[in-house]
Structure formats: structure tokens, C-alpha cells
Amino acid sequence: MPLKFARVALVGKYQEPDGAGAGESACKLLLEIASFLEAQGCTVFLDGKTAQATGLKQFEALDLAAIGAKCQLCVVVGGDGTMLSIGRQLAQYATPLIGINQGRLGFITDIPLESYQSALPDMLAGRYEEDHRTLMRGEVLREGRCIFESQAMNDVVVNRGSTSGMIELGVEIDGRFVANYRADGIIVATPTGSTAYSLSAGGPIIDPALPGWLLLPISPHTLSNRPIVLPDHAEVTVEIVGGREANASFDMQSLTQLQHGDRIVVRRDAHQALFLHPQGWNYFDTLREKLHWNKGTGTG
């Protein structure tokens, strides 16, 4: 079977494994998957941090910039957090990503670990479904100067710190004032992020095919402050108006100790992440499985 993807990078979890023997198990799993890819005719490269964490030396190790330049495909073994991190960094290279789920939910790392041997051969040969995901670029401005900048695939969150009490946040859309929110915080989420923190805060699920953002206040003081769906070409600005302590996070990459007058500006990033799924994949099948819709209910 001819290959569409002959040079494949393999990425595993970076964090320290939990429990005795977990590190050895993770190393064994990655070696097994790498050997399977080689058996399909692929040249396998390891992400440098993965190679360092596992001690695997049989494969050439590359940093993410080299993966973007040299590899045709990246296979990520882990959970959605691992995929979010790699997806943000490889988006600028338009490197396709396949996710093998070693985590719990797996909205974007959707191939079950026990199914990768049946799913990968067809995908390596070019039979798959494409799934493009928008990224955000957020920056924190203090007195007009950028003090922090980052991408986000899930969300940008501005929330109160460890002290009790609400914060007051002024929101503008494309430079036009919308409202001052008194709340525990505000989430600006992509469709990908609509099944993350936003979902637990009561926000709607947005199909990733829709070019939109979700603006969601967290526990607002005024109950009429409802979630708003915006076009993703909109620029969202959140200003710290009041409150004792506030911080911002970009896909959980945190910036703490925001000051009154700081402005968090969120725009659409110039790049998109490209996920590949097995043929026949459907977003609603994923939602039904991961959110346990229509599970355990009778018909009568």
C-alpha cells in the first residue's frame, strides 16, 4: 500500500509518569507504536522532549521546528492537553496531526489506544477525514505595551485570583464597548474550547466547522449576562476595571497578577491546526461517545 506520509514524528507525554513502573510502561508503548509505524514503511522521528523523557535512542530526535520542516505527519500519544500543546506549536508548519488517546476524554485525540493498529494503515495511505481548527492569539497590554503574548487553541480566560469577591471586566468587540461584567471571570473560547472549561461553566457546544468565538461570563452577578457567539474575525478586548486580584490564562498557560487598566486582546491567529481522523469520523459521534449521550436509557 503506497504511503502518503513516509516521514512521521512521534510525540508522547512530557510530564513525569504517575506511579512506579509507569515510565517503563510509557516507554514500551511508544516503542511499540514506533515499531508499528516502521513496519508500515515509515521513517520515524521522536520529538526531542519525548526522547529525553523516555530514553529511547533508536530514533532520530528532533525539536518541534525540525519536525515542522522535515516530517509529513505527527502522531501524538497522550490526552487532549498534549495535543493542544503540540498543535499550537506545529500549526505554523501546517503539519497534520493524528491523536492516539492515552488520556481520559479525548475530544481531539480520538483514536483509542487499542485501535491504533487498525486505524493507522489507511490513514498513512491517505484515507482520512480532515478537521481544521482555528487558533487564537492573545496578548496582555499594560499602558499600551505588550507584556505577554501566546496562542490558544481552547480558550483565553480572565478570572479572579485566590482572593474572594468578584472582579469587574470591561469588554469591547472590535473597539466598541459591550458591557462591564461583574463576575468571577470571562472565557473567550474557540469551538474546540467549547467542550473544555466553557462547557463546565454552562456554555454551549459549538461545531468546530463554524468560524466563531464564544464569550462567556463565569458566574456573573447579573443573570442577564449570557454567553454570546461572535464571528472569529472579531477582536475581543477585556480590560481589568476593578477587583483585588485577577489573572489570565491561555490554554492554561498562566499570567498572574494583572493590574487595573491591563487589557487582554484576543484575535484570530494566522494559522490553523490540522487534525486527521479515520474515515467515517463525525464530530457528533465524538460528542455522543465522550459525553455519554443516549447511554443507559431505555426506549419504553
∠ at Cα 58 (53, 61), nearest 5°?
Answer: 55
Residues 142, 218, single domain; the answer is yes
Q: For 95, phi and psi rounded to 5 degrees?
A: -80, 125
Selected catalytic residue, list 18, 47, 63, 80 = 80
Q: How far apart are CA 104 and CA 282, in angstroms?
A: 19
Q: Does residue 54 fall inside a structural domain?
A: yes
Nearest to 132 by CA among 97, 162, 103, 177: 97
Which CATH number belongs to the domain containing residue 246 in this structure?
2.60.200.30
C-alpha cell at position 167 = 472582579
For residue 2, is it within any domain?
no
Q: What is the pLDDT of residues 211-228, one digit of tens each?
A: 999 999 999 999 899 999
Task: Give me the count of residues in the chain.
Answer: 300
Domain count for the chain, please give it.
2
Range of the domain at 284: 7-128+278-290
Please give the pLDDT value at position 204: 96
Structural domain includes residue 300 = no
pLDDT digits (tens, 9 = 90+) for 124-163: 999 999 999 999 999 999 999 999 999 999 999 999 977 7
Same domain, 110 and 206: no
| Whether 115 and 207 share a structural domain | no
Which residues of the chain have a pLDDT value below 50? 16-17, 19-21, 299-300
Closest to 233 (Cα-Cα) out of 156, 136, 140, 92: 136
Q: For residue 186, what are the β-bridge partners?
A: 158, 217
* Residue 232 bears catalytic tag: no
Q: Are 155 and 187 in contact, with CB atoms under 8 Å apart?
A: yes
Contact 259, 244 (CB under 8 A): no
- Give the model's pLDDT for residue 205: 97
Q: Which of the 8 DSSP states describes residue 22?
A: H
State the residue for C-alpha cell 469588554: 171
Three-state secondary-structure class, residue 165: coil
pLDDT of residue 165: 84
Distance CA 159, CA 127 (A): 43
Quote the strand ranges of the chain, DSSP E.
7-11, 43-47, 60-62, 73-78, 97-101, 111-112, 129-142, 145-152, 155-160, 167-173, 176-183, 185-189, 212-218, 228-231, 236-242, 246-250, 253-258, 263-277
Q: Taken in order 77, 83, 87, 88, is the CA torsion positive or negative?
A: negative
